[in-house]
């Protein structure tokens, strides 16, 4: 693992020292080699590695690989916009994105829960810098404030709880807690306790009602910010819930019914809201909220299958939403607008891009062999096992998801070709590679989904 950390740290000298002409190519190449190395390394450990600093298992391993894989893709995606800026700003942009991915990776792999907490919060700093420094409009400062305040308010109870566990048991290593089956004694208000323990993660995930920072942050962030936010930062929340679930062995499902209600309503409400969006980026952000609330539902049911479903959902959603943001960005770089109707008819001039849109949208819609389908199947089965009524309500979500994904496809691709689209510059190879490397892991996971099952 130290090897991985050094490989990541070696990106900083590359960023600062490489000649301006080769800045993007060297950093991207290095990012890809780190990504491949990470895949090799994690498979070598067989997702089964623990020492006093790092802890890789079936929960953290796939998410760590996802983090390493997304980094070169963010570089690929942001090249055309950022390389117009002065060279020092380009360097600090790359350094900041490296730093962001590194803190996320360390949060996923840290074995001590306090260390996890520190990196969980530390990832906020580069996110805020990237949003506030490279965002496109003046409301980016407000978005930065929102994300900072929501995250920090949520963090307080979790920190208190960690301090208390440490003072009674003298350790915060999940492996140790598991071995000695240390868990929370029953409290008077188990539901409230669950909420307080997980509120930091529920804000990050985000649970419906705590999600207001997300569309703002996504709309204001530059492309790398959006990709990382949707791809890995939201998953920190899901990871935290799954990781701390070992504390709560007793069945809290009956006392967390109000959270279940919020999450189920949130799934439907955000999926319906997606149908009313005109702004492409905020639609994708809303669909993220909808998918992530499904993860909350799965985490609340807390059976083996629902946890597996949550895990697959996080990986699949990390890839597809990041790909959707890339597609939105390719459109934004050409038309300088996020409005969907302005893109109508773009299928006629960008046929190959239309193929990428179709594939990514089918992935998002959870069409049968895709990983999203596997996750939805697992979650829906566990939900049905818990309550057929809840199953029926959440099943509506499948209809709404299909509706809004088709709405995206129709309103951005189909239709007659308007004149303002005829002069747009064609897609670069870089963009095709970018989208292909989002889709490829998804396709490979279809062949071997047990890699990310818990």
Ligand X SMILES: *[C@@H]1O[C@H](CO)[C@@H](O)[C@H](O)[C@H]1NC(C)=O
Q: Who's near 93: CB < 8 A, 6+ residues apart?
A: 78, 82, 85, 130, 134, 224
| For ligand X, the closer CB: 129 or 172 | 129
Give the three-class secondary structure for 339.
Answer: strand
The verdict on 99 binding ligand X (CB under 6 A) reads yes
Which of 26, 45, 92, 402 is close enough to bind ligand X by CB under 6 A?
A: 92
* Comparison of 95 and 434: residue with beta carbon closer to ligand X: 95
Q: Does 394 bind ligand X (CB under 6 A)?
A: no
CA gap 120, 104 in Å, rounded: 7
- Is residue 132 close enough to count as binding ligand X by CB under 6 A? no
The three-class DSSP label of residue 183 is coil
Minimal CB distance to ligand X: which residue?
95
**Contacting ligand X (CB under 6 A), which of 39, 53, 133, 402?**
133
The angle at the Cα of 68, spanning 62 to 71, to the nearest 5 degrees, equals 135
Contact between 253 and 300 under an 8 Å Cβ cutoff? The reply is: yes
Query: Judged by CB, which is closer to ligand X: 140, or 211?
Result: 140
Per CB under 6 A, the segment of 90-98, 176-184, 347-355, 434-442 that binds ligand X is 90-98
- 96 is a site residue for ligand X (CB under 6 A): yes
x-marked contacts with ligand X along 333-352 as a string, rule CB under 6 A: --------------------
Q: How far is CA 4 from CA 65, 185, 379, in A?
A: 11, 38, 33
Looking at the Cβ atoms of 12 and 407, the one nearer to ligand X is 12
- Count residues binding ligand X (CB under 6 A): 6
Tell me whether residue 82 or residue 298 sits nearer to ligand X (CB atom). Answer: 82
Binding positions for ligand X, 50-69, rule CB under 6 A = none
Name residues whose C-beta falls within 8 Å of residue 29's C-beta, 6 or more positions apart in sequence. Answer: none
- Residue 75 interacts with ligand X (CB under 6 A): yes or no: no
Q: Are 217 and 130 in contact (CB under 8 A)?
A: no
The pairing of strands 49-50 and 55-56 is antiparallel
- φ, ψ at 237 (rounded to 5°): -65, -50
Looking at 75, 129, 289, 380, which residue binds ligand X (CB under 6 A)?
Answer: 129
Determine phi and psi for 198, rounding to 5 degrees: -105, 5
The encoded tokens of residue 392 equal 């029926």
Is 95 a residue that touches ligand X (CB under 6 A)? yes
**Site residues (CB under 6 A) for ligand X?**
92, 95-96, 99, 129, 133
């Amino acid at each position: 693992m130290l090897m991985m950390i050094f490989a990541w740290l070696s990106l900083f000298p590359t960023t600062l020292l490489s000649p301006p002409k080769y800045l993007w190519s060297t950093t991207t190449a290095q990012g890809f080699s780190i990504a491949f190395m990470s895949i090799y390394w994690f498979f070598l450990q067989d997702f089964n590695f623990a020492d006093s600093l790092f802890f890789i298992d079936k929960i953290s391993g796939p998410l760590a690989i996802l983090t390493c894989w997304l980094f070169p893709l963010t570089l690929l995606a942001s090249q055309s916009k950022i390389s117009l800026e002065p060279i020092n700003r380009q360097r600090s942009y790359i350094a900041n994105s490296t730093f962001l991915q590194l803190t996320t990776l360390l949060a996923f792999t840290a074995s001590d829960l306090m260390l996890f907490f520190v990196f969980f919060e530390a990832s906020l700093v580069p996110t805020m810098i990237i949003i506030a420094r490279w965002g496109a409009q003046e409301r980016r400062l407000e978005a930065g404030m929102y994300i900072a305040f929501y995250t920090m308010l949520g963090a307080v109870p979790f920190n208190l709880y960690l301090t208390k566990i440490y003072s009674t048991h003298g350790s915060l290593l999940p492996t140790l807690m598991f071995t000695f089956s240390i868990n929370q004694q029953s409290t008077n208000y188990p539901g409230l306790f669950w909420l307080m323990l997980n509120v930091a993660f529920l804000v990050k995930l985000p649970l419906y009602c705590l999600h207001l920072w997300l569309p703002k942050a996504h709309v204001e962030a530059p492309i790398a910010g959006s990709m990382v936010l949707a791809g890995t930062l939201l998953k920190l929340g899901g990871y935290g819930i799954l990781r701390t679930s070992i504390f709560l062995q007793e069945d809290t499902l009956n006392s967390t019914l109000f959270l279940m209600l919020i999450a189920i309503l949130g799934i439907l409400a955000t999926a319906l809201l997606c149908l009313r969006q005109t702004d492409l980026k905020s639609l994708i952000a809303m669909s993220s909220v909808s998918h992530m609330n499904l993860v909350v539902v799965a985490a609340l049911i807390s059976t083996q299958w629902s946890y597996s479903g949550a895990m697959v959902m996080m990986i699949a959603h990390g890839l597809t939403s990041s790909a959707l943001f890339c597609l939105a960005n390719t459109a934004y770089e050409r038309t300088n607008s996020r409005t969907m109707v302005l893109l109508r008819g773009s299928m006629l001039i960008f046929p190959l891009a239309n193929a990428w849109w179709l594939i990514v949208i089918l992935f998002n819609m959870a069409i049968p062999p895709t990983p999203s389908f596997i996750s939805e199947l697992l979650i829906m089965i566990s939900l049905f096992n818990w309550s057929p009524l809840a199953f029926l309500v959440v099943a509506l979500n499948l209809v709404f998801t299909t509706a809004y994904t088709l709405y995206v496809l129709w309103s951005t691709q189909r239709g007659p070709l308007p004149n303002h689209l005829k002069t747009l510059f064609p897609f670069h190879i870089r963009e095709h590679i970018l989208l292909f490397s989002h889709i490829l892991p998804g396709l490979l996971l279809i062949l071997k989904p047990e890699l990310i099952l818990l």
